[in-house]
Structure 1
């Protein structure tokens, strides 16, 4: 029954995609709270917690390839990369909905997105991620970032907001609470952002839509 409900939830593109695409085209970022159902989020949260309890996460690093390193003064979360080809039902439903976004973006905005890479992210109490862009120094394939939050009934005083800077000088920002079902999309090379310290464990899925480039990752 669960698999049937998940299949039904991603069977056809929802009308909300038009609103997402229009807003993304206008301002380069968009927040949606309707694409993922409470059931979708509950199943994803259960999946994330199960893998965390099994010790499958690893401390997140910064950089790429030979430059990759762990710098706890910059980020202190842990991650688990997701395999779309061997995904359990809840994660498969996530990939299916993000695929709808990829196709809609390509059709309307001609971004040339070809794939999605994603991981679960857990921010233990006190964890943070300093201000950064979602682009590697020598690889500009990441084009559109997608962050989906899995935290039910997140208290107002629990911290953990994503601070999205709306200008290159980082003078103006929007704080997004990591409430369950909130999806944030933004152009990876344009918007600096950070995760403020969380006062309780914080769960999410972070993804990046990639395009083909001629650059090499080293």
Structure 2
């Protein structure tokens, strides 16, 4: 695997996670790769491959648009060169987090997410009550020329009642501790594209 990311950026993510539990990095990957990923997301959506996302897990999972309205498609290695480049970059980040924080992240799962106009995701935590494997969340945005009036911000509820809104601008990566930071996606006014995923550790073991 070739190195996709620069060491200072990896170090910045690790340092941020260690000190405050979240990190925001602009221009995380090359612009041509970001555009290619956006094109693939739109193509696969047009071909009907993205489906309404559910809430809950297992047999209890159900589509509830009053809670979340995005459409998703899970990624598997080997589907396209562009997606494989992204997965390689996330594996580099996984190794850097393990080296710096000793969390013991074992793998990464992710999906394309498309929020059509009007869609949102109510406040939630990414870690399930009965499954603690998701340790670190990672959201990578694919939206070129996103304007403040387009909505779709990621709103994180931080310590001491601090609220942080992140614009879903192409090339921006947001990483945060899955079990510690409640968050929501505000209603978008145009199609909002991202790659959303989770670094996972072995279950039921403390960090």
Please give the range of the TM-score, normalised by the shorter of the 2 chains. Answer: over 0.9
1:146 aligns with 2:138: yes
- The 3 A distance-change label for structure 1 pair 146 and 122 is same
Residue number among 24, 30, 33 corresponding to 2:17 in the alignment: 24
Counterparts of 1:112-131 in structure 2, within 5 Å, are 112-131=104-123
Residue number among 39, 51, 55 corresponding to 1:58 in the alignment: 51
Q: Give, in whole Å, the separation in 1 of the partners of 2:105 and 2:3.
A: 23
After superposition, the CA RMSD in angstroms is 1.6
Cα contact 1:13–1:100 (8 A) shared by 2: no
The corresponding residue for 1:207 is 197
Structure-1-length-normalised TM-score: 0.90
Q: Give, in whole Å, the separation in 1 of the partners of 2:70 and 2:197.
A: 15
Runs of 4+ in 1 over 3 A off after TM superposition: none
SS across alignment from 1:151: coil
Per-residue CA distance 1:164-202 (angstroms, 9 max, x = gap):
1102x8x32100000000000000000000000001110
Q: Give, in whole Å, the separation in 2 of the partners of 1:115 and 1:213.
A: 12
The corresponding residue for 1:80 is 73
The corresponding residue for 1:136 is 128
The corresponding residue for 1:42 is 35
Give unpaired runs (5+ residues) of structure 2: none
The corresponding residue for 2:7 is 14
Cα contact 1:147–1:184 (8 A) shared by 2: yes
Cα contact 2:3–2:92 (8 A) shared by 1: no
The corresponding residue for 1:172 is 162
Counterparts of 1:159-198 in structure 2, within 5 Å, are 159-167=151-159, 171-198=161-188
Structure-2-length-normalised TM-score: 0.95
